[in-house]
């Protein structure tokens, strides 16, 4: 398969858009406004962003998938243009809000595609509400404990790098999540930091860090219950959630397909949009994922 990688200016455009409120819709779930965009028609596909992200993280996925499917892309509670109540956020919070969101939109079942924290949410939702999930796509998904992956929990100072408060901290985050370090220009750092401040999700991120360090909602030992057809997609150069986690998901979910993408980091749907979309659409169409 020919590798098509997202040009730097497209990544920059997506990051610039992050934190702004794109034209879309609002649903009220548990009294909170959830911003979302939707397009296309057909079977439902819900795209779930990761920590500190929003719907713009799927800017290169939505047009491709919506040609054949009804795509719904929410800003999860606490992120993007959605409300940010000051609660103790954890993955089960996102699971409950996704359930309420689907009920509000009268979506009885859907394919869930989740990146990072969104992947953790997707697999946890599939465990809690298996009849509501048609297919499951886990993209560089978090969810395993540090011990399960052969490590120890990091100190809080290390985790706080995910909630940057300086340009230097922002550069460290970007250097961690992309494989192509030449993409991390001064301009990109400034745009990313500006978007982070505009979105105002620092409190949310801090509470998720607390939850992770407290060991809440890890999926260790639970995945034998997943009977949903599953695709595991991973950037081989992911320095945030290593490929060992992708191998663990593929091992623990019976029959899981894999697409391990070279020259890709933690957000392959942005950094490597071409091969990512090919793998995703192949799985959704039933022709099989493409990529090893």
Q: Specify if 292 maps to a domain.
A: no
Q: Specify if 290 maps to a domain.
A: no
Q: Are strands 44-48 and 70-74 parallel, antiparallel or unpaired?
A: parallel
Give the up-direction half-sphere exposure of residue 98: CA atoms within 13 A in the CB hemisphere.
33
- The predicted-structure confidence for 250-268, as pLDDT tens digits, reads as follows 999 999 999 999 999 999 9
Q: Specify if 151 maps to a domain.
A: yes
3-state percent breakdown (helix, strand, coil) of the chain, nearest 5 = 40, 15, 40
All residues at 6 or more sequence positions from 186 whose CB lies less than 8 Å from its CB, including other chains = none
Cβ 57 vs Cβ 19: under 8 Å:
no
The whole-model pTM stands at 0.92
Q: Specify if 291 maps to a domain.
A: no
CATH number at residue 123: 3.40.50.1820
- The predicted-structure confidence for 59-110, as pLDDT tens digits, reads as follows 999 999 999 999 999 999 999 999 999 999 999 999 999 999 999 999 999 9
Judge residue 155's burial from the number of C-beta atoms within 10 Å of its C-beta, 0-12 exposed, 13-18 middle, 19 or more buried: exposed
In angstroms and rounded to an integer, the radius of gyration of the C-alpha atoms of the chain is 17
Question: What domain count does the chain have?
Answer: 1
Specify which residues 112 forms β-bridges with: 46, 136
Q: Specify if 3 maps to a domain.
A: no
pLDDT at 291 (0 to 100): 52
Is 242 a residue whose pLDDT tops 70? yes
Q: Average of pLDDT values for 190-215?
A: 96
Query: How far apart (Å, rounded) are the C-alpha atoms in residues 22 and 44?
Result: 21
Cβ 253 vs Cβ 222: under 8 Å:
no
pLDDT at 15 (0 to 100): 44
pLDDT at 288 (0 to 100): 61
Structure tokens that stand for 75 in this block: 């800003």
Q: Specify if 96 maps to a domain.
A: yes
Q: Are strands 257-261 and 230-235 parallel, antiparallel or unpaired?
A: parallel
pLDDT band at 152 (very low <50, low <70, confident <90, very high): confident
Q: Specify if 273 maps to a domain.
A: yes
pLDDT at 287 (0 to 100): 67
pLDDT at 22 (0 to 100): 45
Specify which residues 260 forms β-bridges with: 234
All residues at 6 or more sequence positions from 67 whose CB lies less than 8 Å from its CB, including other chains = 40
Range list of β-strands (E), 77-170: 110-115, 133-139
Position with higher pLDDT, 24 vs 121: 121
pLDDT at 154 (0 to 100): 85
Question: 39: part of which helix (H) or strand (E)?
Answer: strand 32-39
Percent with pLDDT over 90 in the chain: 85
Q: Average of pLDDT values for 118-135?
A: 98
Cβ 200 vs Cβ 18: under 8 Å:
no
All residues at 6 or more sequence positions from 31 whose CB lies less than 8 Å from its CB, including other chains = none
Q: Specify if 42 maps to a domain.
A: yes
* Structural domain range at position 90: 8-285
Query: How far apart (Å, rounded) are the C-alpha atoms in residues 37 and 73?
Result: 5
């Amino acid at each position: 398969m020919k590798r098509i990688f997202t040009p730097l200016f497209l990544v920059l455009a997506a990051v610039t858009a992050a934190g702004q409120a794109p034209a879309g819709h609002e649903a009220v779930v548990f009294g909170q406004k959830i911003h979302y965009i939707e397009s296309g028609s057909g079977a439902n596909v819900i795209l779930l962003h990761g920590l500190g992200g929003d719907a713009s993280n799927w800017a290169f996925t939505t047009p491709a998938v919506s040609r054949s499917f009804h795509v719904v892309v929410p800003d999860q509670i606490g992120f993007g243009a959605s409300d940010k109540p000051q609660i103790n956020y954890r993955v089960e919070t996102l699971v409950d809000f996704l359930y309420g969101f689907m009920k509000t939109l009268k979506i009885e079942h859907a394919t869930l595609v989740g990146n990072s924290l969104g992947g953790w949410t997707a697999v946890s939702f599939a465990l809690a509400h298996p009849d509501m999930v048609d297919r499951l796509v886990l993209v560089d998904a978090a969810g395993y404990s540090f011990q399960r992956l052969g490590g120890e929990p990091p100190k809080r100072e290390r985790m706080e790098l995910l909630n940057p408060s300086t340009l230097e901290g922002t550069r460290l985050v970007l250097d961690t999540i992309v494989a192509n370090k030449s993409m991390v220009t001064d301009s990109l750092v400034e745009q990313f930091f500006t978007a982070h401040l505009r979105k105002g999700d620092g409190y949310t991120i801090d509470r998720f860090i607390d939850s992770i360090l407290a060991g809440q909602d890890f999926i260790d030992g639970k995945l034998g219950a997943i009977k949903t057809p599953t695709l595991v997609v991973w950037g081989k150069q992911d320095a945030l959630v290593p490929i060992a986690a992708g191998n663990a998901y593929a091992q623990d979910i019976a029959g899981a397909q894999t697409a391990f993408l070279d020259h890709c980091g933690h957000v392959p749907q942005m950094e490597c949009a071409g091969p990512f979309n090919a793998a995703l659409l192949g799985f959704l169409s039933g022709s099989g994922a493409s990529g090893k």
